[in-house]
């Protein structure tokens, strides 16, 4: 096939060398070898978050291959991603890496990692594939402004971009993909607003709560397998394992609650009262029956030596101390008043939170480019033709488990495919 006239050759500027930027660049360069694909990265390193993610192992995606179920892991963006996941989902991500010699393995909770347990495997794969495909990378070269030169004919609306770089130079591009990630002060958000886009309210997601409460004392390091945590005023409720920390509570159950309530908790400045059911959401009547059954069956045994809920001994001891029962009390001697207190405490302990800490393993930003302003078939802006968004810069975030990277792979894939195949977007 003859090369396109230089004037018709696509020049694609990708802003940000993270997971989304790299995946878009590779897809674009492989699909259209004539295209000129440039990645502009403000820092001196690429793929920084891939490197530190998953404790240095990189939780690339999640073993959930059903788009309908997959979207339920996204507090924001799930609805919009549904169609996108039909085009590029975790199975495609697994196959893509496999075809480049990187095998992924699945852990018991569904998280998928490279079999090497080393995020460098993913980085090497992405950087080598991009270089081989002819992607040009500009480090320490951020984008500080984009200016649109619109061209509207009866048949189509297109634009060209004049791009100002942080080194003072300017360049041009036929297509721009903004893939600058999340964060409260994100340059990509400023670029998007400068051309007419809206940024929804930003708040951190995936955090742990600071809580001081007698029931939590001296339990750091201990975990419970299934705890229900709720914030009734906002109708928020999540279940899962929780971990006691020296500052309060963490673990998947807490992180999920923080994700779904990211905006609400931010508005409350992380001061609120949570309700905790330590026995997986069991009803008070069920808890009472279990205690009464134990009272009959284990009449002569000490309370501390046996608990009907299989709680770790340290937690059960703390629970007995919290409701002021001597651990040596025999089950038969358990006063009704104390039994009632146990029911109430196990089913519904009220915990006052007093701040938050970010989860070191994984955190993301809730909020970003408003999704209604983006066509999810192509990831093209509905406001500016030839402008695309991919990754965390969008108002999309998932719970922990590989869902955030999957959103980056999917949205960047769709953006680059749309550019290379000239798939038209829709406007507002
Ligand atoms: C500690 C930690 C661990 C995580 N672990 C996991 C995990 O295991 N699994 C998971 O699914 N998710 C994880 N996440 C979330 C995941 O890393 C992000 O959702 C994902 O990296 C988003 O990819 P992105 O390409 O959109 O943005 P980023 O990876 O943030 O990349 C954006 C890039 O754009 C650059 N940039 C910004 N502004 C400009 C500019 N003006 N010009 C040029 N370049 C610019 C930035 O320097 C950066 O390199 C983790 C996050 C953190 C913080």
**Per residue in 26-76, pLDDT tens?**
999 999 999 999 999 999 999 999 999 999 999 999 999 999 999 999 999
Closest ligand 1 atom to residue 59 Cα is: 8
Residue nearest ligand 1's atom 11 by CA: 402
Q: Separation of 179 CA from ligand 1 center, angstroms?
A: 9
The owner of tokens 């397998």 is 225
Q: Separation of 372 CA from ligand 1 center, angstroms?
A: 22
Closest ligand 1 atom to residue 393 Cα is: 26
Query: What is the pLDDT confidence band of residue 5, given thresholds at 50, 70 and 90?
Result: low
Q: Separation of 120 CA from ligand 1 center, angstroms?
A: 15
Dist. CA 99–CA 81, nearest whole Å: 25
Closest ligand 1 atom to residue 54 Cα is: 8
Q: For 72, which DSSP code? A: G
Residue nearest ligand 1's atom 5 by CA: 53
Q: Please tell me the predicted confidence (pLDDT) of residue 298.
A: 93
- Evaluate if residue 1 carries a pLDDT over 70: no
Instruction: Provide the token pair at 358.
Output: 């970010």
Share the mean pLDDT of the chain. 95
Q: Separation of 51 CA from ligand 1 center, angstroms?
A: 10
Q: Please tell me the predicted confidence (pLDDT) of residue 152.
A: 73
Residues of 183-200 as b/e, b for ≥16 C-beta within 10 angstroms?
A: beebbbbebbeebebebb
Which domains does the chain carry? 10-202+361-420 (3.50.50.60), 207-358 (no CATH)
Of residues 119, 126, 123, 125, the one with CA closest to residue 58: 119
3-state secondary structure of 352: strand
pLDDT > 70 in the chain, percent: 98
304 burial (CB, 10 Å; 0-12 / 13-18 / 19+) is middle
For 210, 371, 418, the CA distances from 411, given in Å and listed in that order, are: 34, 12, 11
The edge-to-edge listing of strands for the beta sheet with 111-114 is 61-62, 111-114, 104-106
**Per residue in 121-159, pLDDT tens?**
999 999 999 999 999 999 999 999 999 987 777 677 777
Residue nearest ligand 1's atom 9 by CA: 402
Dist. CA 175–CA 288, nearest whole Å: 64
Query: What is the pLDDT confidence band of residue 243, given thresholds at 50, 70 and 90?
Result: very high
Of residues 381, 418, 422, 376, the one with CA closest to residue 195: 381
Return the bridge partners of 26, or none.
none
**Which residues does ligand 1 sit against, CB inside 6 Å?**
15-21, 40-43, 48-49, 52-54, 58-59, 142-143, 179-181, 187-188, 361-364, 391-393, 402-405, 408
Closest ligand 1 atom to residue 49 Cα is: 17
Q: Please tell me the predicted confidence (pLDDT) of residue 227.
A: 98
Q: Please tell me the predicted confidence (pLDDT) of residue 361.
A: 84
Instruction: Provide the token pair at 169.
Output: 């130079």
Tell me the H-state helices in 134-232.
187-194
Q: Which residues have CB under 8 Å from 377's CB, separation 6+?
A: 83, 414, 418, 423, 425, 426
Q: Separation of 19 CA from ligand 1 center, angstroms?
A: 7
Of residues 279, 368, 354, the one with CA closest to residue 74: 368
Q: What's CA 322's distance to the chain center, in Å?
A: 36
């Amino acid at each position: 096939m003859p090369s396109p006239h230089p004037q018709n050759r696509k020049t694609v500027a990708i802003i940000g060398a993270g997971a989304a930027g790299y995946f878009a660049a590779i897809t674009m360069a492989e699909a259209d070898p004539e295209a000129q694909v440039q990645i502009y990265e403000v820092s001196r390193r690429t793929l920084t978050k891939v490197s530190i993610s998953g404790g240095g192992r990189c939780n690339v995606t999640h073993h959930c291959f059903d788009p309908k179920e997959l979207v339920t892991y996204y507090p924001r963006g799930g609805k919009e991603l549904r169609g996108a996941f039909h085009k590029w989902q975790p199975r495609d991500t697994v196959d893509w890496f496999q075809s480049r010699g990187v095998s992924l393995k699945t852990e018991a909770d569904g998280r998928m990692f490279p079999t090497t347990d080393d995020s460098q495997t993913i980085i090497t794969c992405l950087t080598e594939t991009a270089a081989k495909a002819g992607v040009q990378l500009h480090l320490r070269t951020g984008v500080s402004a984009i200016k649109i030169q619109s061209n509207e004919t009866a048949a189509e609306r297109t634009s060209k971009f004049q791009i100002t770089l942080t080194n003072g130079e300017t360049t041009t591009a036929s297509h721009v993909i903004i893939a600058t990630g999340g964060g409260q002060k994100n340059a990509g958000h400023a670029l998007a607003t400068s051309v007419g886009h809206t940024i929804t309210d930003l708040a951190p997601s995936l955090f742990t709560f600071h809580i001081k409460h007698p029931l939590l004392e001296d339990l750091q390091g201990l975990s419970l397998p299934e705890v229900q945590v709720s914030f009734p005023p906002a109708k928020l409720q999540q279940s899962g394992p929780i971990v006691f920390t020296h500052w309060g509570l963490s673990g998947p159950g807490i992180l999920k609650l923080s994700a779904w309530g990211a905006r609400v908790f931010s508005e409350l400045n992380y001061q609120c009262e949570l309700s905790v059911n330590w026995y997986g959401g069991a009803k008070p009547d069920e808890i009472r029956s279990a205690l009464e059954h134990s009272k009959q069956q284990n009449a002569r045994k000490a309370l501390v030596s046996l608990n009907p809920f299989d709680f770790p001994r340290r937690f059960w001891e703390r629970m007995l101390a919290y409701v002021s029962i001597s651990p040596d009390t025999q089950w038969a001697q358990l006063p009704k008043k104390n039994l009632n207190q146990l029911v109430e405490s196990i089913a519904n302990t009220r915990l006052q939170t007093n701040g938050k800490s970010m989860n070191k393993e994984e955190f993301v930003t809730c909020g970003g480019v408003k999704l209604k302003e983006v066509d999810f078939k192509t990831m093209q802006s509905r406001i500016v033709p030839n402008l695309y968004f991919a990754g965390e810069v969008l108002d999309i975030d998932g719970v922990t488990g590989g869902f955030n990277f999957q959103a980056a792979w999917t949205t960047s894939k769709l953006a680059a495919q749309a550019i290379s195949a000239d798939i038209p977007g829709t406007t507002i």
